[in-house]
Amino acid sequence: MTKIILISAAILGVLSIILGAFASHGLKAHLSPENLQTFETGVRYQMYHALLLLFVGSTSLVSSGYKNIIFYLVIFGVVLFSGSIYGLATNQLSSFNFKSIGFITPIGGLFLIASWVVLIINFVKLKS
């Protein structure tokens, strides 16, 4: 599972760089400054959680059971949170109304928060 976590972290990281560059160069002329900033928020949180997965996957301080839980929380959280933000920010460019599924953004945020809470629980249970 460690290899999957590390590969997933790298994929999330490279995608956040690609999406950030795309927003800065490809979407800048098509989005309002507010929507561009919203899109960049999704990119930033995706990168934060790519880094979290890199840490989790490469440390022995997190037990394998907690690694699995954190992995799934982060993946689902990024897809729901950042993914919905990307859709909402670019809503005017699409025929699909992403506002109709905007309720999944806070659900994704809760998954991301939960991943950090699980990490805290793991650390509290560490034997000195």
Q: What is the pTM of this model?
A: 0.92
* Region 108-122 average pLDDT: 98
- pLDDT of residue 19 exceeding 90, the answer is yes
In this structure, the dihedral spanned by the alpha carbons of residues 104, 27, 13 and 47, taken in order and rounded to 10 degrees, is -60
Residue 114 is predicted with a pLDDT of 98
Q: How far apart are CA 128 and CA 14, in angstroms?
A: 36
- Residues 58-112: tens digit of each pLDDT: 999 999 999 999 999 999 999 999 999 999 999 888 888 888 888 999 999 999 9
Q: Where are the domains of the chain?
A: 2-124
Residue 101 is predicted with a pLDDT of 86
Identify the residue with better confidence: 8 or 99: 8
